[in-house]
């Protein structure tokens, strides 16, 4: 029987019950150099899993089930193989037989074409495509920024970078606190790039941008067929994608209370269950959370779990507002103008000293994001190589506006019934409130570049409320 198999197959080996290789055919000997063995004596007698990477012969021995046609890939090449259990007279498994039916390793191109060759070729091509897709995905998951990307050499900026470098060396949870547009995601990526996890994925989730009904699936994934319409193959969640790396939970203050309890368990136990699954999966993930909300106030109001807050607030870093580090304005403007030129394809533009002085007088409620918006508008609105204060004033009209002089008080005038009528210069209160709301909405939209969700957060109102007020106070054309 062995002689028939040896002539039929391109290689054959026999393994005993203890997984030891006891015999190999003449054809199999040509694979030994690629597997790292100089002679048959070095190979025979050792456990098959120690000498043939990725082999499933031990599984055949343990289960007694044959594997008639399979693909095996290791450093020796890609092979079409069969694995058959060997039994004694009583039917007990005493070993296994491994057959190499087709050898797709280098140097076999000139041999006679096998009917199984298309299958092996397709497998090799799909394997190469999978490797390429994984490489591209890994490239997308790498951080784009380092700690040095947090531009500035003011005392406030230097202190933030010092803290970031310090916390990057550990694995504890980091909490980034700061107003919108202060650079929290840039710093989160910088912490990951400076950490021992730099070679692993960096994954970011903006909690405010994901519908509440989909958040659990976004975090923990979905088991195959978990619900009607779910993918039959299942879907990986962000915790599984970030395994071994860093997961940024942006806008953590917007997380629903129901999901906060599940997140707390993941942080404490480093394990989770995909939606619709009973299988517990482990995830080695470092959490970096970021928020512009006042979490202690939310805890006091019952809108954020106190235990989750304490679990997140291990290594807090507070990012300063742009108004608190105006010394960094020249460097920030230079970096932003470089990036705007690169993205728009326009020549780089400089900044006139009077324009810089104008920028320094603004209070920057939208911080660096608002600064970029102002500079980009100014760059696109004119052709001059140097931006002047006049050009910037068109993108930042509030910076050049002087407050209107208060009208002189006039004594009330009594009407025919003796009641005092309001002076003509005083705006009725409902109109004054409406004007104030419209002005605040315009400022918030300008500060966030038209982002209504961010503008609502800046105004301290719900997004639905902002849409209602925009219907009453549409932006000026």
pLDDT means per 10 residues in the chain (477 residues)? Answer: 75 92 89 88 91 90 89 80 91 92 57 54 68 58 82 92 93 92 92 90 88 85 66 76 91 89 87 81 90 91 92 93 92 92 87 90 90 90 87 70 41 49 58 76 80 78 76 62
Partnered with residue 37 across adjacent β-strands are none
Structure tokens, 359: 């920028």
pTM: 0.57
Is 139 part of a structural domain of the chain? no
Quote the pLDDT of residue 462. 76
Q: Is 220 exposed, middle or buried (0-12, 13-18, 19+ CB in 10 A)?
A: buried
Q: Clarify whether residues 18 and 33 are in a common domain.
A: yes
Q: pLDDT value at position 315? A: 93
Please check whether residue 412 lies inside any domain of the structure. Answer: no
User: For residue 346, what pLDDT is reported?
Assistant: 84
**45 and 100 assigned to the same domain:** yes
Domain total in the chain: 4
pLDDT of residue 61: 93
pLDDT for the residue 289 = 94
| DSSP H/E element including 468 | helix 463-472
Instruction: Tell me how far apart the alpha carbons of residues 334 and 163 are, in angstroms, rounded to a whole number.
Output: 25
Q: Could you give phi then psi for residue 416, rounded to 5 degrees?
A: -60, -30
State whether 155 and 287 are in the same domain: yes
Q: Supply the CATH number for residue 376's domain.
A: 1.10.8.60
* CATH code for position 47: 3.30.450.20
- Return contacts of 70-77, CB within 8 angstroms, 24+ apart: 71/119, 71/120, 71/123, 73/123, 73/127, 74/35, 75/34, 75/35, 75/36, 76/31, 76/34, 76/35, 76/105, 77/34, 77/103, 77/104, 77/105, 77/106, 77/108
Instruction: Compute the distance between CA of residue 215 and CA of residue 225 in angstroms, rounded to an integer.
Output: 18
Q: How far apart are CA 89 and CA 93, in angstroms?
A: 10
Q: Which among 134, 168, 189 is the end of a domain?
A: 134
Shared domain check, 271 and 295 = yes
Asked, for residue 152, whether it belongs to a domain, the answer is yes
Within-domain flag for 265: yes
> Among residues 180, 185, 200, 188, which one has the least CA distance to residue 164?
188
Residue 223: both structure tokens together: 């088991």
Residue after which a domain boundary falls, among 250, 283, 318: 318
Which residues constitute the domain of residue 330? 322-400
My answer on whether 6 and 113 are in the same domain is yes
Same domain as 191, residue 291:
yes
Show Cβ contacts of residue 28 under 8 Å, excluding neighbours closer than 6 positions: 11, 12, 13, 100
The runs of H, that is alpha helices, within 301-413 are 306-312, 329-344, 353-360, 367-381, 389-395, 397-400
Angle CA 399–356–188, to nearest 5: 90
Examine the domain organization and report whether 175 and 284 are in the same domain. Answer: yes
Indicate whether 392 belongs to any domain: yes
Q: Are residues 189 and 327 in the same domain?
A: no
Whether residue 218 is contained in a domain is answered as yes
Q: For position 440, which CATH number holds?
A: 1.10.10.60
Distances 179 to 296, 324, 368, 423 between C-alpha atoms, Å: 15, 12, 10, 42
Kindly state whether residues 273 and 286 are assigned to the same domain: yes
Shared domain check, 283 and 260: yes
pLDDT of residue 135: 60
Residue 477 lies in a domain: no
Residues 72 and 215 placed together within one structural domain of the fold: no
Spatial separation of the C-alpha atoms in residues 221 and 240, rounded to whole Å: 8
Question: Which residue among 86, 113, 134 closes a domain?
Answer: 134
Asked if the structure places residue 140 within a domain, the reply is no
Q: How is residue 364 written in tokens? A: 């920057």
pLDDT at 363: 87
Q: Are residues 118 and 166 in the same domain?
A: no
End-to-end CA, the chain? 89
């Amino acid at each position: 029987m062995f002689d028939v198999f040896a002539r039929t197959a391109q290689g054959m080996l026999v393994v005993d019950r203890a997984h030891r290789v006891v015999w190999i055919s003449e054809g199999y000997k040509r694979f030994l150099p690629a597997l790292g063995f100089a002679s048959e004596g070095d190979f025979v007698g050792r456990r098959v899993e120690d000498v043939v990477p990725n082999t499933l012969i031990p599984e055949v021995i343990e289960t007694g089930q044959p594997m008639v046609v399979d693909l095996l890939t290791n450093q020796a090449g890609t092979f079409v193989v069969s694995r058959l259990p060997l039994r004694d007279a009583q039917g007990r498994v005493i070993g296994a037989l491994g057959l190499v039916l087709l050898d797709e390793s280098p140097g076999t191109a000139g041999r006679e074409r096998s009917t199984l060759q298309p299958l092996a070729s397709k497998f090799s091509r799909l394997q190469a495509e999978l490797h390429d897709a994984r490489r591209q995905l890994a490239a997308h998951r790498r951080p784009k920024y380092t700690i040095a990307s947090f531009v500035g050499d003011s005392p406030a900026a230097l202190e933030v970078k010092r803290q970031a470098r310090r916390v990057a060396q550990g694995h504890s949870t980091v909490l980034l606190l700061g107003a919108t547009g202060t650079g929290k995601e840039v710093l989160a990526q910088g912490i990951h790039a400076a950490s021992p996890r730099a070679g692993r994925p960096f994954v970011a989730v903006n909690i405010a941008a994901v519908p509440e009904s989909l958040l659990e699936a976004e975090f923990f994934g979905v088991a195959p067929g978990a619900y009607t319409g779910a993918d039959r193959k299942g879907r990986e969640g962000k915790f599984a994608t970030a395994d071994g790396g860093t997961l940024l939970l942006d806008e953590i203050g917007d997380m629903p209370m129901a999901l906060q309890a599940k997140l707390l368990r993941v942080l404490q136990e480093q394990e989770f269950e995909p939606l619709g699954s009973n299988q517990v999966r482990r995830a080695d993930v470092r959490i970096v959370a970021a928020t512009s909300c006042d979490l202690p106030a939310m805890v006091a109001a019952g809108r954020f779990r106190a235990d989750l807050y304490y679990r997140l607030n291990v290594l807090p870093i507070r990012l300063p507002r742009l108004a608190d580090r105006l010394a960094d304005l020249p460097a920030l403007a230079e970096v932003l103008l470089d990036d705007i030129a690169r993205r728009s394809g326009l020549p780089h533009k400089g900044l006139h000293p009077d324009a810089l002085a104008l920028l320094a007088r603004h209070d920057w409620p939208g911080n660096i994001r608002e600064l970029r918006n102002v500079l980009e508008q100014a760059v696109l609105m004119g052709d001059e190589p140097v931006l002047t204060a006049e050009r910037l004033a068109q993108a930042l009209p509030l910076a050049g506006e002087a407050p209107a002089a208060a009208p002189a008080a006039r004594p009330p005038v009594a009407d025919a019934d003796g009641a005092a009528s309001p002076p003509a210069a005083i705006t009725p209160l409902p109109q004054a409130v409406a004007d104030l709301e419209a002005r605040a909405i315009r400022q918030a939209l300008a500060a966030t570049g038209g982002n209504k969700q961010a503008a609502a957060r800046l105004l301290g109102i719900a997004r639905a409320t902002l849409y209602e007020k925009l219907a009453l106070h549409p932006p000026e054309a």
